[in-house]
Amino acid sequence: MTYTTPATLDLVSLTAECKVTTQGFGTEEDRDWTINTLSLTLAENGFSVRLSLE
């Protein structure tokens, strides 16, 4: 699963291989994940985080 969201202090502190738990996405998506890659982007619309989860 790949997820892009506005950056927050909690998200910026994450690194690859961190464990995260998702909620509110659906029965298949709501579970424990490991971050495979994490990308930070600064664009005109602000600072964002893209997480690739396994």
- State the greatest distance between any 2 C-alpha atoms of the chain, in Å, as a whole number: 34
Residue among 28, 43, 37, 27 at smallest CA distance from 3? 37
Q: Token pair of 49, please?
A: 């985080």
Asked whether 40 and 12 are in contact (CB, 8 A), the reply is yes
Q: Token pair of 31, please?
A: 């579970």
Beta-carbon count within 10 A of 27 CB:
6
Q: What is the pTM of this model?
A: 0.83
> How many domains is the chain built from?
1
| 1-45 tens-digit pLDDT | 999 999 999 998 999 999 999 999 999 999 999 999 999 999 999
